[in-house]
Amino acid sequence: GEAVPASQRGSWTAFIKAIASFSGDLSSLTAPPFILSPISLTEFPAYWAERPELFSAIADAKNAESRMLAVLKWFISTLKGQYTSRNDQMGSEKKPLNPVLGELFYGHWPDRNGRGETRLLVEQVSHHPPITAYMITNKAKKLALQGHSAQKTSFSAGSIIVKQLGHAILNVELPDGSKEQYLITLPRLRIDGIWYGSPYIELTDTSYIQSSSGWLSTIEYKGKGYFSGKTHSFKAVVTGPNSTSTKHTIEGQWHTTSKMSGVPFHDVQGPKEEVTVATAEEQTEWESRKLWNLVAKGIREGDYELASREKSKIENEQRQRRKDELAAGAPWQLKHFVHASNDPDYERLAKMCKVQPTTEDCYVYQGNGPA
Ligand code: 0T9
């Protein structure tokens, strides 16, 4: 295809064959340089808060129904960043840097117009398979989003199918001191355009936002040729407590606009706000931009020898570290999270909307950090 540089065609074909014959963890496959991104997966949780005023608006809603609508509007408004921003910024979906165990990413969005400061803390809690845990807080608004993200990939009819594992839970503390929770499940991805070397994401199937108040949003995703015939389409149905009758229906395209009963609902055509982070020079050894600095420089500047030399350095150092830990009988200690094999909050909320699986593991935030 046009997008694949002539000199990398052979290696692209080999990469596609490897994907096709291999399902599970794509992060470990070696890809040709043109498809590499200089950004680590630990940076991705920032997509949740790139419209900080929509996040903080959740706390300003006056009742459970309008809070659900505020959560839904914020959630839908994150999708453009989560799933199309690499295409917008780099011309296609790219293979992110595969984080090392213990890799960290910290950032914030400043307080502006009374929205409060939003803080982000990310830790890579597993290397193989890659699992990323994150915590996003707005203390002034008493909001905390905690989740983890992993993927199970397979190959079908020329597309990569990505099932997202993990979930997020939004904790809201109301002015009267009572607490409300929202379970956010994640959509399935189909990565198309592989043959041509210009991959892009379409969302499929259904995801849910279940509130402890009983309000539920059921979000259906379709691409070109389905119910609207348009790319990145969705339809969200909102139901009230103990009821299956629809209270609201929102329809549109998640990367542009949508409407609720003919009235504009979300609109992400305007600019988003990137997370503020310390420069690579200011960061500690375990923070993404410092850790991957030279690899990223190599990828950005087309110096792939530098990129691959520095990547090997990091990988060798990691291998040695794992050996030493094994020998010392002292496994790696996470900095901000502790793994738990079940999650009572997930179980309670998942039961309310009958979402599968009925139980999931989780990473419990331990404090000890800037979020
Ligand atoms: C959580 C998001 C996730 C991470 C990425 C599948 C993918 C890694 C996971 C699911 C975020 O909230 C949202 C967006 C994009 C997802 C990535 C897209 C992608 O291609 C990668 C996988 C691992 C690859 O790099 C596949 C090979 C590549 C050549 C295709 C472009």
**48-102 pLDDT tens trace:** 999 999 999 999 999 999 999 999 999 999 999 999 999 999 999 999 999 999 9
Please report the pLDDT score of residue 228 as a whole number: 66
Residues with CB under 6 A from ligand 1: 26-27, 31, 35, 44, 47, 82-83, 93-96, 149, 151, 160, 162, 164, 191, 199
Best residue among 4, 25, 26 to mutate for probing ligand 1's pocket (most ligand atoms within 8 Å of CB) is 26
Phi, psi of 368 (to 5 degrees): 60, 35
Q: Could you tell which of 40, 95, 105, 232 is best to mutate to test the pocket of ligand 1, judged by most ligand atoms within 8 Å of the CB? A: 95
**Parallel/antiparallel/unpaired status of strands 143-156 and 159-165:** antiparallel
Residue 280 has pLDDT above 70, yes or no: yes
Give residue 226's pLDDT band: very low, low, confident or very high (50, 70, 90). low
213 alpha carbon – ligand 1 mean position (Å): 33
129 pLDDT higher than 70: yes
Q: Above 80 in pLDDT, residue 327? A: yes
pLDDT of res. 320: 98
Q: Which of 87, 83, 77 is nearest to 51 (CA)?
A: 77
Is the per-residue pLDDT at 304 higher than 90? yes
pLDDT at 2 over 80: no
Of the candidate ranges 18-22, 276-280, 329-333, 339-343, the one whose mean pLDDT is the lowest: 18-22
Q: What is the pLDDT of residue 223?
A: 94
Residue 135 CA to ligand 1 center (angstroms) comes to 20
Q: What is the mean pLDDT of the chain?
A: 95
Q: How far is the CA of 123 from the centre of ligand 1 (A)?
A: 17
pLDDT tier at 227, thresholds 50, 70, 90: low
Task: Tell whether the model's pLDDT for residue 24 goes beyond 80.
Answer: no
In this model, does residue 1 exceed pLDDT 60? no
Q: Is the pLDDT reported for residue 335 higher than 60?
A: yes
- Residue 177 has a pLDDT of 95
The alpha carbon of 129 and the centre of ligand 1 are apart by a number of angstroms equal to: 13
| Mean pLDDT (whole number) for 248-258 | 98
Closest Cα to atom 22 of ligand 1? 95
Do 129 and 111 contact (CB within 8 A), yes or no? Answer: no
For residue 47, give the ligand 1 atom closest to its CA: 12
What is the 3-state composition of the chain as percent helix, strand, coil, each rounded to the nearest 5? Answer: 30, 35, 35
- Average of pLDDT values for 335-353? 96
Instruction: Specify the pairing of strand 188-192 against strand 159-165.
Output: antiparallel
Task: Calculate how far, in angstroms, residue 192's C-alpha sits from the geometric centre of ligand 1.
Answer: 12
Helices 293-301 and 304-328: angle between axes, nearest 10 degrees: 160
Cis link prior to 96 (omega < 30° from 0)? no
Ligand 1 centre and the CA of 94: distance in Å? 8
Cα 75 to Cα 254: distance, rounded to the nearest angstrom: 10
Q: What is the structure's pLDDT at 26?
A: 84
Share of the chain above pLDDT 90, in %: 91
What is the CA(165)–ligand 1 centre distance, in A? Answer: 12
